[in-house]
């Protein structure tokens, strides 16, 4: 499958990009064609109906929408800001939702979260599901929150803890099998 992987944060070096890339590494090793999209490369202003009326959906949002449209399945790792979805990620979703044909609709998506705290971003996971599901995304029921994420990766940006790495790999395997079944069947 063609997978698009991204993280819900802008910072150059956040734990969520590392977590997303770990998932990508495993998926690539399993033979999938993986693309990583860094939201920093797709800057867009806070949603403003006046901007939209004047100049339409920003090109960056259109380009990101195109990447999503071309992907068979998505993997998203999201931070937790104030016990909920990051505004910056929600803003990207809000712009994406303004395209006539919404790229996210009908896609299969695995939701991850990494957080420096003890709860692993679980409140963000559940708050992030909702707008995605409203847009018709098949968010995989299984999710994974990585706690204590600032200390979770080694110098090569790999998960230090073997059990955690296996947990990710197992969940990823389940998701990819499920998504693959849907994608290949539709293509058939």
Binding status of residue 5 toward a copy of itself by CB under 8 A: no
Applying CB under 8 A, the span of 19-27, 61-69, 89-97, 162-170 interacting with a copy of itself comes to 89-97
DSSP structure class, residue 48: -
Query: CA geometry: angle at 113 spanning 126 and 133, to 5°?
Result: 35
Rule CB under 8 A: choose which of 4, 74, 85, 113 binds a copy of itself. Answer: 85
Q: Can you give the C-alpha Rg of the chain in angstroms?
A: 16
What are the tokens at 105? Answer: 């609709």
Label the pairing between strands 108-114 and 2-7.
Answer: unpaired
CB contact at 8 A, 148 and 116:
yes
Go through the chain and tell me how many residues it has.
Answer: 188
- Site residues for a copy of itself, 13-52, by CB under 8 A, read 14, 40, 43-50
In the stretch 106-145, what mask flags binding to a copy of itself with x, by CB under 8 A? ------------xxx-xx--xx-xxx-xxxxxxx-xx---
Q: Using CB under 8 A as the criterion, which residues of the chain lie in contact with a copy of itself when the complex forms?
A: 9-12, 14, 40, 43-50, 81-94, 97, 118-120, 122-123, 126-127, 129-131, 133-139, 141-142, 147, 178, 181-182, 185-186
């Amino acid at each position: 499958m063609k997978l698009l992987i991204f993280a819900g944060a802008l910072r150059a070096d956040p734990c969520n990009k590392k977590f997303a890339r770990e998932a990508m590494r495993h998926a690539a090793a399993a033979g999938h064609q993986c693309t990583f999209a860094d939201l920093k490369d797709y800057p867009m202003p806070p949603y403003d109906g006046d901007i939209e009326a004047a100049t339409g959906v920003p090109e960056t949002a259109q380009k990101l929408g195109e990447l999503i449209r071309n992907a068979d399945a998505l993997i998203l790792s999201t931070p937790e800001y104030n016990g909920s979805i990051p505004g910056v990620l929600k803003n990207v979703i809000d712009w994406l939702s303004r395209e006539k044909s919404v790229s996210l609709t009908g896609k299969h998506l695995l939701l991850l979260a990494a957080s420096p705290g003890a709860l692993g971003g679980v409140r963000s996971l559940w708050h992030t599901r909702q707008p995605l599901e409203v847009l018709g995304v098949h968010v995989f029921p299984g999710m994974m929150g990585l706690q204590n994420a600032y200390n979770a990766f080694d110098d090569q940006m790999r998960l230090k803890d073997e059990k955690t790495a296996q947990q990710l790999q197992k969940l990823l395997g389940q998701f990819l099998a499920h998504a693959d079944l849907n994608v290949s069947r539709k293509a058939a």
